[in-house]
A and B are shown apart, each in its own frame.
Chain A
Amino acid sequence: MSAQEVAATPASAPRVRRDPMPPALLGVILFVASECVFFAALFGAYFTVRAQATQWPPAGIEESLKVALPAVSTSMLLLSSVTMQYAVWAIRRGDRATMMRFLKLTLLLGLLFLGGQMYDYSTLGFSISDTVFGTTFFTMTGFHGAHVAGGLMFIYLVLARGWAGQLTRENHTSLEACAVYWHFVDIVWIGLFTTLYILK
C-alpha cells in the first residue's frame, strides 16, 4: 500500500463496496455499442461502393492523400488512449494528482489530433462532392472528428469535476465512462486510418 493510498482512505472510513457496473457506466457502454453499429454502417457503405469500383481510389486521390502527417496524428490519438488509461489506474489507486496530470495530457493529445486532422483536410485536393471516395472519406473522418470533439468535451467535464474535487477512489464513474468512450473513438480511428490511408 502506497503512502498516498493510505492518505486517501483513512482507516476509520467505512469500506464501501463499489458497484462494478454503476448505472451511468452501463449507460455509456450501451451507447458505445450503438455507436459501433453507426460506424459499421458507414464502413459497410464504404466497402460496398469500393467493391463495385473499377478504379480505387479514383484518379487524383493517390497523389493528394499523404500518409505522413495523419500517421503522426494517429500516434497522438493512440498515445492519448494510453494516458487516459493511466489516469483511470491512478484514480483507482486514489492518486488524484497523477490522474489530473494524465487527464490534462489526454486532452492536449486529443486537441493535437483534431488540429492535425483539420490541417490535413486543408491540404487535400478533393472534396466531398467530386468523387464517391471524397464522399465516403469526408463523411467517415468527419463523423469521427465530431466524436473526438465530443470526447474532448467529455474529458473537459471530467477534468472540471476533478478540479471541484468530486473524483475519488470510490466515486469516479464519470472518468471510467469517459475512458470507455475515448478508447472506442480511438479504436474506430485505427480502423479508419487503416482503411482510408493505408489500404486506399
Chain B
Amino acid sequence: MAVTEVRREERQPAEAPKRSTLVSWLTTTDHKRIGILYIGTAFFFFLLGGLLAEMIRTQLFEPDNTLFNFHRYNQLFTIHAITMIFLFVMPVTVGFANFIVVLQLGAPDMAFPRVNAFSYWLFPLGGILIWLGFLSPNGAAPGGWTLYAPLNQTLTPGSTPGWGTDVLIMGLLILGLSSLLGAINFLVTIFKLRAPGMTMFRLPIFVWTFLTTSMLLLLAMPAFTAGLAALFIDRNFGGHFFDPAAGGNAILWQHIFWFFGHPEVYILILPSMGIVSEVIPVFSRKPLFGYRAFVYATLAIGMLGFGVWAHHMFTTGAVYAPFFAFLTGAIAVPTGVKFFNWIATMWRGRIKFSTAMLFAIGFLMVFLIGGIDGVFVASPAIDYHLQDTYWIVSHLHYVLFGGSVFGIFAGFYYWWPKITGRFLSEKLGVVHFIFMLVGTNLAFFPMHISGLHGMPRRIAQYRELASIDPSIVMLNRLSTIGAYILGVGILIFIANALLSFRKPRTAAADAWGEGNSLEWATSSPPPPWNFDELPPIRSERPVFDARHSRVQPTPVSAEGGES
C-alpha cells in the first residue's frame, strides 16, 4: 500500500532546547497548541459573557427591577453581545479550525505559523481592552453591539461619552486584524498545503465551510475596520462622518456596519454547519448525502451573504426593500439544501446517539426554528412590526446559541478525544445536552411571544407594558428560568471536561471507529509533526477507504503524542 512515509528521526531536532512548559506554551507556533489556546481563552470569555447574560435575565425577572440602573443595563447587553460574538463564537471556531483543518488537509502546520501565533495573541489583547471599559468612570460601552451612530458619537445629547466606547472600538480593531490575518492564513493553508491527492473536491466539509468563512472575513472585516476608524475619528478628532448636523450621514454607519454585520452572521454559523456535517455522517455510518450540493450551497451562502445587509435597515426607509427582501428569501434556499443533506444522511443510517450526535440533531431542530424566524422578518411588512422587539432577540439567539453554540458543543464532544486523547463522559454529556435543549427553548421561545406582544429589546424595565399586557411578566420569567437552566448546563459541561482529565488516555487514532477525514489517521493527541504516515487520498473519505481497503493501513503508534 502506498504510504507517504516521513522518517521520524528527520523530524526530531538534533537537540531540542530545554524550556519550561509555560514558556513553551507562550511561545508556541504549533497549530494544535494555538488551537487549544484559542479554545481555552474563548471559553473563558464565554463564561464572562454568560455571566452578563444571567445578570440581564435576572434584571428582567421583575418588570421594574432596580438591580441595575438603566445605564449599567445598557453596558451589560452591549458587552454581552460583543463578548459572545467576537470573543467566544469566532475565536472558538478559529481554535477548532486551527487544530482540525490542518490535520484534515494532511498538512504539518499552517502556512504562516508565526502569523498564526500573532493572530492568537491579538485576541486576548483585544478582549482585555474591551472589558477594561468597565473601569471607565462612565462604565463600559453602552451603545449596543451595533454601535449605531449618532448614538455612539459624543456630539449629540444622550450619546455615549467616556472611554468605554473608545476602548471597545480599539479592541474591535485589534480583533479585526487578528481575524483578517487568521483568514489569510487559513486560505493560503487550504489552497497551498493540501496533502498529495487532496483535491478541492476531496476536502472535508469542515474545511469547505471554514474556507468560505475565511473568504467572508477577508472581504467583510475591512469594511468594519473602515467604519470603526471613521467612528473613532468622529468621537475623538471632531470628524463628521455620521453627524447629520455637519453634513454627515447617520444611515451611512448602518450601511457600513451591516455590510460587515450580515456576512458576520454567516461567519458565526458556517463553521458550526461544518462541524455538524462532520459529526452526522460518522454517527450515521453513511457518507454525507450530496457532498457537491453541500459545497455549492456553502459557497452560495457566502456569496449571497454580501447582498442582504440592508434587510437590517428596512425601517429606515432608506433602502430598496423588495431587492433585499428577495435576496434574503433566496439565501434561505442553500440553507434548506443543507437541511436536506443532513436529514438524507441520517435517513436509513445506523444512527448512534452519542452526545456529539445529540448536539448535531439538536442543532438541526433549534437552528431550523431560528432560520424560519429569520425568513419571517425578511418580509418588510412583518419586519416593520417586529423590528427591535424580542422577536429579533429570539431569532438571533436561536441561530447563534441554538445554531452556532450547539454546533460548537457537538465539536467539543466529537474532537475532545482527538485533542486530549481522552473521552468526555457520555452520561454527563446526555445530561448536559438535555439541560441545553430545555434551557434554550425555555429561554428563547417565550421571547417570540413577548416580541409579538410588542416588548422592545434593550430595555431594563417594562412596567407600563406589563400593566397593559400582564402575560409579558410570565413570559419574561420563563426566559429567566431558561437562562438559569442553561447556566447549570454549562457548569455540567465544565465538570465533564475537568473530570475527563482524571481518566487515562484511551482514545485510539480513529477514536469513534467510524472516522472519515484525515484527523483520524494520526494518533490522539497527534504528535507535534502531525503524521508519521498518510493513507492514500482517493476520495473525500480517506480514513474510511483505508479502513475498508484489502491491505490494512500501517497502524499509527498510540503514544506518538508528546504534547
In the complex, chain B residues whose CB is within 8 Å of the CB of A119: none
Are A35 and B184 closer than 8 Å at their CB atoms? no
Contacting A at CB under 8 A, from B194-222, are: 218-222
- Report B111 CB to chain A, min CB distance, Å: 5
- Beta-carbon contact of B237 and A23 below 8 Å: no
B247 contacts chain A at the CB level, 8 A cutoff: yes
A26 sits at the interface (CB 8 A): yes
Q: Are A27 and B112 in contact, with the CB atoms below 8 A?
A: yes
Q: What chain A residues lie within 8 Å of B111 (beta carbons)?
A: 23, 27
Q: With both chains docked as a complex, state the minimum distance between the C-beta of B214 and any C-beta of chain A, in angstroms.
A: 9
Q: Is the CB of A38 within 8 A of B225?
A: yes
Contact check, B249 vs A52: say whether CB atoms are below 8 A apart.
Answer: yes
Q: Which of B219-237 contact A (CB under 8 A)?
A: 219-223, 225-227, 229-230, 233-234, 237
Contacts of B187 in A (CB 8 A): 26, 30
Instruction: Tell yes or no: B246 within 8 A of A by CB.
Output: yes
Given contacts A38-B226, A45-B226, A45-B241, are A58 and B219 in contact (CB under 8 A)?
Answer: no
Q: Does A136 contact B (CB under 8 A)?
A: yes
Query: In whole angstroms, how far apart are the Cα atoms of A52 and B240 in the complex?
Result: 14
CA distance A49 to B243 in the complex (A): 10
Q: Are B222 and A38 in contact (CB under 8 A)?
A: yes
B222 near A34: Cβ-Cβ < 8 Å: yes
Question: Provided the pairs A27-B111, A128-B239, A131-B247 are in contact, do residues A33 and B219 lie with their beta carbons within 8 angstroms?
Answer: yes
Give A107 Cβ to nearest chain B Cβ, in Å. 25
Q: Which residue of B lies closest to A136 (CB)?
A: B241
Query: Most B CB atoms within 10 A — which of A26, A38, A39, A41?
Result: A41
8 Å CB contacts to B: which residues of A1-56?
Answer: 21, 23-24, 26-27, 30-31, 33-42, 44-45, 48-49, 52-53
The residue in chain A whose Cβ has the minimal distance to the Cβ of B237 is: A128
A-B contact count (CB 8 A): 105
Give residues of chain B (299-341) contacting chain A, Cβ–Cβ below 8 Å.
none
Task: Indicate whether B350 reaches chain A with its CB closer than 8 angstroms.
Answer: no
Tell me whether A132 and B247 are in contact (CB under 8 A): yes
B93 proximal to A (CB < 8 A):
no
Q: A68–B238 Cα gap in the complex (Å)?
A: 29
A143 adjacent to chain B (CB < 8 Å): yes
Contacts of A23 in B (CB 8 A): 111-112, 188, 192-193
A35 touches B222 (CB 8 A): yes
Report the separation of the CA atoms of residues A132 and B505 in the bound assembly, to the nearest whole angstrom.
63
- Residue of A with least CB distance to B239: A135
Q: Are B249 and A129 in contact (CB under 8 A)?
A: no
Measured CA separation A69–B237 after assembly (Å): 27
The yes or no answer to A139 lying at the interface (CB within 8 A) is yes
B349 at the interface (CB under 8 A from A): no
Chain B residues positioned under 8 Å from A128 (CB to CB)? 233, 237-239
CB of A49 within 8 A of CB of B252, answer: yes
Are the CB atoms of B219 and A37 closer together than 8 Å?
A: yes
**Do the beta carbons of A49 and B188 come within 8 Å of each other?**
no
Which residues of the other chain, A, contact B220 by a CB distance below 8 angstroms? 37
Q: How far is the CB of A53 from chain B (nearest CB, A)?
A: 6
Cα A20 to Cα B240 in complex, Å, equals: 46
Separation of A35 and B115 alpha carbons in the complex (Å): 18
Kindly list chain A residues whose C-beta atoms are within 8 Å of the C-beta of B256: 41, 44-45
- Interface residue B409 (Cβ < 8 Å from any Cβ of A): no
Extra 13 A-B pairs, beta carbons < 8 Å, given A23-B112, A48-B252, A53-B247? A23-B111, A35-B222, A37-B219, A37-B222, A41-B227, A42-B226, A44-B255, A45-B226, A49-B249, A129-B239, A129-B240, A135-B239, A143-B229
* B contact residues vs A (CB 8 Å cutoff): 111-112, 115, 180, 183-185, 187-188, 191-193, 218-223, 225-227, 229-230, 233-234, 237-241, 243, 246-249, 252, 255-256, 259
Instruction: Give the B-binding residues of A (Cβ under 8 A).
Output: 21, 23-24, 26-27, 30-31, 33-42, 44-45, 48-49, 52-53, 58, 128-129, 131-133, 135-136, 139, 143
Q: What 8 pairs between A and B have smallest CB-CB spacing?
A: A129-B238, A41-B226, A132-B247, A38-B222, A135-B239, A37-B222, A132-B240, A41-B223
A-B residue pairs in contact (CB < 8 Å), sample of 16: A21-B192, A23-B188, A30-B183, A31-B180, A34-B219, A37-B222, A39-B226, A41-B222, A41-B256, A48-B255, A49-B241, A53-B247, A128-B238, A132-B246, A135-B240, A136-B241
